Structure 1
Amino acid sequence: MESVKTALRVLEAVVESQLIGVSELARRLQEPKTTIQRCLTTLHDAGYVRPVDGTRRRWAVTNRLLLLSKSADPEPRLREIALPVMRWLRDETRETIHLMVPEGGEVVLIDRLDSPQPVRTVRQLGAHAPLHVASNGKAALAAMEEAEREAYIRNPLVSWTKRTITDADRLRQEVAKVRELGYAVSFGELDPEVHAVAAAILNSEGKPIATMSISCPASRLPVELIPKYGALVSKAAAEISRSLKSANAEVSQAAA
């Protein structure tokens, strides 16, 4: 069982870094190089990672992992319904659009559409961040039931940058503001050079099953542009929420 856990940790680290070597993996995971190499070989044989440039010095994930992730939507038809709306939002803003899902106190990136501009934000699929750090996470927090939200806030809030909110009362104030405005903002809290604005996608019970964000270099999202982008991402998230509810209602009627 421990070997399986280690292999999964290795896979997660490769997903986060994309190109990474055995030595760096060993340092990051605090495991012997021989253990890391054995895990990589197993994952390679299973088709989930591949050596880069024909060597075994650096490793990357394969398309098999991407295809597997695309078949595991947390909500039926989420990606199918979200994709055209993401395209619309990307075309309106010319910035990168992220689709993330809340999972175990974090948000996980499951899909993205890249900005057409040469300078843009880039995060690998599978990348994750604590709820209080990312705009997507704060959007999810604001849409949660109070008891669930408080259970998270009472835990230690880890800092990712000097702008990350780590004070519980300040985070509560931030969440209240998100609930009032309908969207969440991150000013360099996850990455010091990145600004983002996000809104929650809700299921028929009003619970957050995903979030969507506009993410871009800090210089392209000044404070005065936030209300415009907030309105756009809120509109996009609401449209996906409505479409998901309609799709699920049709499925329920057909099953009856």
Structure 2
Amino acid sequence: MADSPRATGTQTLARGLRALQIVSTASDGLTIQEVAGELDVHRSIASRLLSTLADFHLVTRGSDGRYRTGTGLAALATGIHATLRATAEPVMHELAADLGATVSLLVIEGSQAVALSVVEPPGASYRLSFKTGSRHPLGRGSAGVALLAAQSPSPGEATAVTEARERGFAATFGEVEPGAHGVAVPITAEGLPAACLNLITSRAEVAGRAAPPLMAAAARLRGDLA
């Protein structure tokens, strides 16, 4: 029996979204052939998918023939990030108050971890903090590791990323801020970019008890965002 038009349309949509996803996570874009290989489809199919995405300015083709994210995706991401931030911030305020430490929400942008929101603990006489918009390389610091752990396993990934995915959180010391402990938990939700909740503190005892409440908060956010 031939596939129904609805089934065919669903498959095309899924392929298009997957193509957008792999282009957006490639640090220097992808060629049509590379996208075809990632999707396991003929080059002509990949070309049609990318052309459609380009029509909506979600990707753009450079003079080198490589496809990269376009301005339409940036506008779409702004709306998605606003939803993510609005949902997460009440939970972040609770965590910051309960743990007495700064809590941030970070997302992936290219090859970097970017702070989408930062909440400081109320009434603290001393605190470690960084600004919204701060960024550092993926794989560095608890947030960078957690964001990689929020994605599917990849060949040759760092042991720290694999361990964070298995236990549900990443913990580091002094990798982004000298003398600071970081504990981060991945947040994954259908249709939303990979994100994480990250706690930063100079107090080892706070970092030592931070994982369970952070994991509970991440689970709560996954439910709210579903």
Query: Normalization by structure 2: what TM-score?
Result: 0.60
Structure-2 separation of matches of 1:234 and 1:208: 18
Amino acid at match of 1:134: G
C-alpha deviation, 1:77, in angstroms: 1.6
Q: CA RMSD in A?
A: 2.3
C-alpha deviation, 1:110, in angstroms: 1.3
Q: Is residue 217 of structure 2 the alignment partner of residue 210 of structure 1?
A: no
C-alpha deviation, 1:195, in angstroms: 0.8
Structure-1 separation of matches of 2:170 and 2:160: 8
**Maintained 8 Å contact 2:181/2:207:** no
Structure-1 separation of matches of 2:86 and 2:132: 17
Percent of residue pairs bearing the same amino acid type: 29
Residues 227/120 of structure 1: CA separation in 2 closer, same or farther (3 Å cut): closer
Residues 241/75 of structure 1: CA separation in 2 closer, same or farther (3 Å cut): farther
Structure-2 separation of matches of 1:114 and 1:72: 23
Structure-1 separation of matches of 2:79 and 2:182: 23
- Give the secondary-structure state (helix, strand or coil) at the position aligned to 1:180: helix
Q: Is residue 153 of structure 2 the alignment partner of residue 146 of structure 1?
A: yes
Query: Normalization by structure 1: what TM-score?
Result: 0.54
Unaligned runs of 5+ in 2: 1-74
**Maintained 8 Å contact 1:75/1:209:** no
Equivalent in the alignment of 1:98: 104
C-alpha deviation, 1:203, in angstroms: 1.4
Q: Map of 1:43-82 to 2, 5 A cutoff?
A: 72-75=78-81, 77-82=83-88
Equivalent in the alignment of 1:235: 216
Q: Is residue 114 of structure 2 the alignment partner of residue 108 of structure 1?
A: yes
Unaligned runs of 5+ in 1: 1-68, 154-171, 246-256
Q: Map of 1:169-248 to 2, 5 A cutoff?
A: 172-204=158-190, 209-217=194-202, 220-222=203-205, 226-245=207-226
Moved over 3 A (4+): 73-76
- Give the secondary-structure state (helix, strand or coil) at the position aligned to 1:77: helix
- Give the secondary-structure state (helix, strand or coil) at the position aligned to 1:204: coil
- Give the secondary-structure state (helix, strand or coil) at the position aligned to 2:126: coil
